[in-house]
Amino acid sequence: MFAKILIANRGEIACRVARTARRMGIATVAVYSDADAQSRHVALADEAFRIGPPEAKDSYLRGDRIVEAAMSSGASAIHPGYGFLSENAEFAERCERAGIAFVGPPPQAIRAMGDKSSAKAIMEKAGVPLVPGYHGGNQSPDFLLDQAVRIGFPVLIKAAAGGGGKGMRAVEHKAEFDAALAACRREALSAFGDERVLLEKYLERPRHIEIQVFADRQGGCLALFERDCSMQRRHQKVLEEAPAPGMTEARRREMSKAAVAAAKAVSYVGAGTVEFIVDRAGTFHFMEMNTRLQVEHPVTEMITGLDLVEWQLRIAAGERLPIAQKDLRVSGHAIEARVYAEDPNRDFLPAAGRIAHLALPAESGHVRVETGVRAGDEITVYYDPMIAKLIVRDNDRPAALERMRKALGEFEVAGPVTNLGFLYRLVQDRDFVAADFDTGLIERHRSELLAPSAPAGEEALTLAALTALSQLDAGEARRPGDPFSPWSLADAWRANQDSARLLVFLEGENRHAVGA
């Protein structure tokens, strides 16, 4: 096993990888940009290297500096986390050339799956079911329009190099196709430097179900069950859960078989996720494979009792998969919610600012919190504004939902606006609770999920005033000095000051003045 690893990431995932490394007795090296010099992931590591200014392209995407830091620290492996360089084949090669193990698949597997079109061609050959569509090389608009007509509207145009929901457009009618294609190409070119697109039948009210796979260098490959990530906003995941509601043993076996075939088709090694889109009838189709650890991996850990980062490190060090498929079991139900600094009432605009107060739900065997921030830290405009991932587990889905509702209620953030209120409503949405959902649920229920809440009433303001006053008094009583002095009395008497106070509370844009 490695004695020391470098973690080429920031935020919650850097902290999460460091925790497992520490438990395994592996020393950790952090890298940081100038915006992150004081951040939690740096504080948790044994050593830390500055790699550049705040912009990701000048720091967390600088593979050369990261490999240099690994060499000078003596780290023998690099864990890339997710995002940044985690699916960058050149970076994996750079690590290899420097004699450092890349904790991820071989570069050729990253390349094969990095392009949605080539991935589909490989999957087709491996007999994995695809969404009806076109993923070939002919990119002429007229030809693509003919293909769209053949597939039948609505169709989805996707950037071949796409990711994160960018460069994707649904087209309802033939007349809108040309304009949508042009827009999609522009977006793909500016986001990925590659304007190639593919076409897919746009499925109505589908579910997104993905299979976690793991492969070792000795040819072993396992499927660690599914995650349902259908609760999305603009094709981005908001809630994830495992197992998928309504999953049957037979369908799970079929999907797992297809996922393992996908991994084997590219000689995969390490942790990967095969994403499927599932139609109303339950038929599943390959969408893409993500060649890294996913944001939502904790729900799989919570239902299997496994540590996927430990598995990644063991496999990167050349060990075999530690367990056989027949010995894997699903235990209970787990749900993850992504807590973001963003404003649901301004179309989820990312928010920034100092976290003035942070209270996390108490962690237990049922509740897990993954975060990269502490009270006093800044959410900056440079990176993804995720504050934390909240993961709960219980014996069944209703009990897990109840845990989630309670934990969200305990989660307190003051400073940047967050999506906590939105999540709190979402986990109580009638259809979601009834497990009757698909990728369009959030959009369909938008008006209820985003309805303005009633402004704070007299009771809430009185409680807020009492809390504020007791905190002010506690602060004053803590002053050193003679406890018998009249200055230490905690009654309302003040020298040179009125005994009445005016407290002003801000609730969104409303100011509430309370006389106390």
Q: 334 and 305 in contact (C-beta within 8 Å)?
A: no
Tokens of 127: 């007999």
37: β partners: none
Examine the residue annotation and report whether 346 is marked as an active-site residue of this protein. Answer: no
Distance in Å, CB of 286 to ligand ADP, minimum: 10
Nearer to ligand ADP, 2 or 202 (CB): 202
Q: How many residues does the chain have?
A: 516
Distance in Å, CB of 96 to ligand ADP, minimum: 26
Distance in Å, CB of 205 to ligand ADP, minimum: 9
Nearer to ligand ADP, 291 or 439 (CB): 439
Nearer to ligand ADP, 228 or 370 (CB): 228
Distance in Å, CB of 450 to ligand ADP, minimum: 20
Nearer to ligand ADP, 234 or 406 (CB): 234
Task: Report how far residue 356's alpha carbon sits from residue 361's, in angstroms, rounded to the nearest whole number.
Answer: 17
Residue 270, classed as helix, strand or coil, is strand
One of 94, 292, 314, 425 is an active-site residue; which one? 292
Tokens of 142: 């007229």
Distance in Å, CB of 380 to ligand ADP, minimum: 24
What do you get for the CA distance between the two ends of the chain, in Å? 62
Q: 311 and 321 in contact (C-beta within 8 Å)?
A: yes
User: Exposure of 465 by Cβ count < 10 A (0-12 exposed, 13-18 middle, 19+ buried)?
Assistant: middle
CA nearest neighbour of 292 among 11, 9, 6: 9
Nearer to ligand ADP, 224 or 277 (CB): 277
Task: Report how far residue 265's alpha carbon sits from residue 261's, in angstroms, rounded to the nearest whole number.
Answer: 6
Residues forming contacts to ligand ADP in the complex (CB under 6 A) are 131, 156, 158, 162-165, 168, 200-203, 206, 208, 232, 235, 275, 277, 287-288, 439
Q: What string of H, E and C letters represents the secondary structure of 103-137?
A: CCCCHHHHHHHHCHHHHHHHHHHCCCCECCEECCC
DSSP, res 89: H
H-helix or E-strand spanning residue 337: strand 333-340
DSSP, res 358: E
Look-up: residue for tokens 């949405």?
A: 429
Distance in Å, CB of 318 to ligand ADP, minimum: 31
Nearer to ligand ADP, 69 or 119 (CB): 119
**Catalytic residue annotation:** 292
